[in-house]
A and B are shown apart, each in its own frame.
Chain A
Amino acid sequence: MKIESLLEYLQQLDWYRGQIEIIKKIPEQAPIYAELSTPLSIAIQRHLDRRGIKLYTHQARAIELLREGKNIILTTPTASGKTLAFNLPIFEKLSKSKTGTALYLYPLKALANDQLRSLQELEAAASLNFHASVYDGDTPEHLRPRIRERARIIVSNPYAIHQYLAWHNKWKRFFENLQFVVLDEAHRYRGVFGSNVALLLRRLLRILAFYGAKPQFVLASATMANPLEHAHKLTGQNFSLIAEDGSAHGRKFFVFWNPLKNEAKSVHRQSSDLLAQHVNADLQTLCFTVSRKMAELTTHWAQHATHKTLAAYRAGYLPEDRRRIEQGLKEKTLHGVATTNALELGVDIGSLDSVIISGYPGTVLSTWQQAGRAGRGQQDSMVTLVGFENPLDQYFMRHPERFFERPHEHAIIDLENEHILLAHLMCAVAELPVKESDEHYFGPRGPELMNALQAQHLIQKTPMGWVYRGMARPAEIVSLDNISAQTIRVLCDGEILETIEQQRALEETHPGAVFLHQGETFLMESLNLGQGIAIARHADLDYYTDTLKSSEIRIRRVQDTKSIGAFELNVGDVFVKEQVIGFRVMRFDKPLGVHALDSPSTEFETVALWFTLPSSVRDTVAKAGFDWAGGLHAAEHALIAMTPYFAMCDRWDIGGLSTSLHADTGTATIFIYDGFQGGIGIAEKTFELFSQLVQTTYELVRDCPCETGCPSCIYSPKCGNGNEPLDKRAALVILSELMKSINL
């Protein structure tokens, strides 16, 4: 009732201009319970009974499948009891032996302690002692030997395992007896990080095989379009999928709020007002913001409109302060909190009545994760998505039904990126000599890759297999967050803000650039490629900068081609040459000045998707009196903007180029390429899903109410040509011609 009256109230506010695009009511679900074929142990069952827990269908299925020795991936929603679903069978199996062990990996160190607590609770309840422990970079040196010697459950993260594998002998007991590897938040293992982790897991499996262990895998993940493919690529194993949710939940009101309907009030002000109205309506509310600064401002503004207790939450606060806020949320003494995505995953804060998502978080997956914070048992809950002036935000505002369809987003992992492969092979060789029989762990190109490393004297073939020849410890020079190309550290006051690839550094950290980090602005002072350091300083700026660059693409090898009518679509290896030639200082989309830069040109090889356009389309555009080059350029921008909808990535990870005459194709061509050295799988995925990409891009451009293009459709914040020329109507012709050919 509270929610319905709040919704009515919102529509009577004096600043309401029809911002509510849709109120989607997701019906409640009664719990669906299931019985196990064989009951759990008496101690565990008593523990469940005491806490009033009955097993839902998905939990029972997870238990049965794990008992059968299968690998599983669980994709039920947040708060559906996933952790219990795999902890129970793992505890059951471990309790049946005196030695079996399990390794739990979390993508972030910060999540380990919360998990440890739930494991220890279960240990106590079941009267079992597996000495469950966290073992990672923060574990004090003197505790380590004891944990390695006796813990039967270890909670860690991939960064730590990456370092420890070389010391596998010290882990002998734990590895020999390893029965389970749990990868929680498995959707986070995507893109560059995911591809690195996939190869790290191949290294782990090889070491485990050396000790005679072959563990079962348990993956828990948010919903995505390709869970089985993802699990397989990540681990190399086959999986059973558990997706049907048996847990109980109340009604959920999902509101799409389009702040652009009232341009007189800023989007952030609308979000903070919504937060105040929610808490005034007695709904305990979490408001996700896009930046740290916004988390604080939103709290500050909202506090003016309510007497309820509010707080801001973000990474960078002291642990005590964060604990206090988490506690306040759990105990309901805090009524509203504005937060960065730091509260999106893992951290235990209980459930709230309502969530406001101020700005589409980039993926549908994250949106659902954040939405999952609302909904207490079977009570009603409310989620509000506030769309910003970006293509994807506005696409969903106009097509909310797309949001609720089955998932479109694919997690991508590339097992063929040569940079990543060589780096991990080198690590593997330094961990244990690699024999010919091991090469299958690293794909079909083993021998060729080994020879490349040998030619540089990094490894050598010996009668014992390939062995590492020395120099630095490989795990020290291989990072899981980057492709093994040169990286630049962005420093501010001597601290590292971010480590970014050189390519991106040239565009974003040249002197004079306004660098955005977690929503805050920094002014760049210097960039030293030789030292790999860029210096930034804090600066509260009301302008931003746009890089101007020239790009060139040469096609090196076509991997695959398909014809779409008279269009020809390709995916393959390309050579990209980019040079930053200057930058524009912009305020409110108006250029204030242009500065020239003299930076080196960079060349890198990557994977691209490209398509050629027939002259008939050009004629149609010309006949209508539109600009051909502007149309190609606008279509390219829109396609890139929609790509993350299918291949989960940041739009900054993708580059593009359009030209009315390309030297290698001899005709008008649009390229979309991976912004990472060697490619990370974005282009391949886009090739696979191209017709869907065209469909949604067409809808995006067609349904945007602007006349000649705007930041919600064809403008790109990353455009190297300052968004010129752009012709929205010509782009629509091109996209609709593509649609026609696809549907023929």
Chain B
Amino acid sequence: MKDLAQIAERLKRRAQIAQQDAYFSPDREGPFGFARASASEFDAAMRLKRSLLTEFKGAQLEEIYQTQFEQNEFGTFLRITHQEPIALTTFDPGFAQEVIESELKLLYGVGPTLEHALNARGINKLSDLAQHPRWGQEVQHILDWMQARDLKQLENQLARWLPRSHPTAIRLAHFIEPTSLVFFDLESMGLFGRPIILLGVACPCGQAIEVHQFFARNITEELPALVHTFEQLRLAKAIVSYNGRAFDVNYIKDRLNYYGMPCQFEPVHFDLLAHARRRFREFLPDVRLETVEREILRKERSIDLPSVLVPDFYNTYLEEQNIGPLIPILEHNKQDLLSLSLLFAKLCEP
């Protein structure tokens, strides 16, 4: 038995070394949103962790946040709720209709040159072509989809002819009442193949935004939290994320797959990364959410934790059974969600 313990310990050490290599490895480009930490950031984070461990020794999450135990057929997990007075006023179907109607490029074979020529002939709106022998039918489809608010069809049509980052694509959001939107961001133990520990969703409701964080206090709680979040995302008319198309949504699917629960999920999805990149690339050194938040939204975070150190902090929480290191993870996730909603509002502005 002693041998097995030693061998397993050696494996763990290798895993730790590989993980630490990933923090600093100079030859590995940090993927977007999971940027590597510099040595000074790392040291600062470790100091932060130590002080949090002292500050929160013996404390419970329930004493600090509004929490609630949730349960479903796969087990339990913790819900942490925050409210922030942010009012989203993006609902404006008329405007959405107008923008899309003026986008002749949504038709088969219409590029910028032809669009220009059509405009010159006084054709500025899709409905002007409703009777056109070549485009009439396609125009009718688009008008019907708008009538029926079939956003998935519209999103597909837009994606077919326009880049994802095209401003018209985000105008689609004006069709949706904010209460039907879900903002979404997750925190994980690494890049793919490793557990998700925190799933955050933000739901606008009137004059405020409610942030719900579904937290796995240990790996057993990952699946119930995942399933719960997944249901919420499914019910939304659209989801809003930052790099969620490449990362968060795939990650959730991957984890469900891992548990042997394959799923189909193709939501209407506003991934703000593409839009932010198009709008701000020229003014910013990079388009990480933190940077956009600081430079464009003019917000400064009091404490922040580089994403790459989330696993380390979470492991410390588990090992020490001390919630201290969780605080910056929860705050970081909440802050990302709130910034996401502000950025969304900004990008939607006419």
Q: Taking beta carbons and an 8 Å cutoff, which residues of A are in contact with B?
A: 166, 169, 172, 210, 418-419, 422-423, 426, 430-433, 448-449, 452-453, 455-458, 460, 462-464, 467-474, 476-477, 484-486, 605, 678
Contacts and interface: CB of A to CB of B under 8 A. Distances in A.
A166 B259 contact: no
A423 B11 contact: yes
Contact of A452 (B4, B193, B219, B222): B4
A485 B14 CA distance: 9
7 contacts: A169-B257, A422-B8, A422-B11, A426-B11, A469-B219, A472-B190, A473-B192
B137 interface: no
A470 B190 contact: yes
A464 B8 contact: no
Contacts of A486: 10
B193 A166 contact: yes
Contacts of B4: 418, 422, 448-449, 452
Given A464-B223, A472-B19, A477-B15, A484 B193 contact: no
B7 A452 contact: yes
Contacts of B18: 471-473, 476-477
Contacts of B259: 433, 464, 467
Nearest to A426: B11
Nearest to A556: B3
Interface residues of B, number: 39
Sorted nearest first, the 3 A-B pairs with minimum C-beta distance are A470-B189, A472-B18, A452-B4
B223 A456 contact: no
A441 B257 CA distance: 21
B163 interface: no
Contacts of B349: none
Contact of A460 (B10, B219, B319): B219
A464 B260 CA distance: 9
A449 B4 CA distance: 7
B95 interface: no
B84 interface: no
B71 to A, nearest CB: 13
Given A210-B260, A448-B4, A473 B11 contact: no
B12 interface: yes
Nearest to A448: B4
A484 B315 CA distance: 24
Interface in B1-58: 1, 3-5, 7-12, 14-16, 18-19, 22
A524 to B, nearest CB: 24
A169 B220 contact: no
Contacts of B244: none
Contact of B15 (A452, A474, A678): A474
B223 A471 contact: no
Contact of B223 (A172, A462, A678): A462
Given A470-B311, A484-B14, A460 B7 contact: no
A599 B19 CA distance: 29
Give the interface centre of B11, B16, B193 by most chain A CB atoms within 10 Å: B11
A447 B19 CA distance: 27
A463 B3 contact: no
Contacts, number: 117
A435 B63 CA distance: 37
Contacts of A457: 12, 315, 318-319
Nearest to B12: A456
Contacts of A455: 5, 8
Interface string B180-191: 000000000110
B7 A473 contact: no
B260 A432 contact: yes
Given A169-B257, A463-B74, A472-B19, A456 B11 contact: yes
B75 interface: yes
A433 B11 contact: no
A162 to B, nearest CB: 13
Contacts of B22: 472
A456 B5 CA distance: 8
B216 to A, nearest CB: 11
B145 interface: no
Contacts of B1: 448, 452
Contacts of A458: 8, 11-12, 15
A292 B345 CA distance: 67
B262 A169 contact: yes
Give the interface centre of B15, B74, B222 by most chain A CB atoms within 10 Å: B15
A14 to B, nearest CB: 60
A433 B258 contact: yes
B8 A452 contact: yes
A87 to B, nearest CB: 33
B194 interface: yes
A474 B220 CA distance: 20
Nearest to B22: A472
Interface in B98-153: none
B220 A462 contact: yes
B155 interface: no
Interface in B243-276: 254, 257-260, 262
A452 B12 CA distance: 11
Contacts of B75: 462-463
B218 interface: yes
Contacts of B8: 422, 452-453, 455-456, 458
Given A464-B223, A477-B11, A471 B254 contact: no
Contacts of A472: 14-16, 18-19, 22, 190
Give the interface centre of B5, B12, B222, B318 by most chain A CB atoms within 10 Å: B12
Contacts of B324: none
Give the interface centre of B8, B75, B189, B257 by most chain A CB atoms within 10 Å: B8
Interface in B202-258: 218-220, 222-223, 254, 257-258
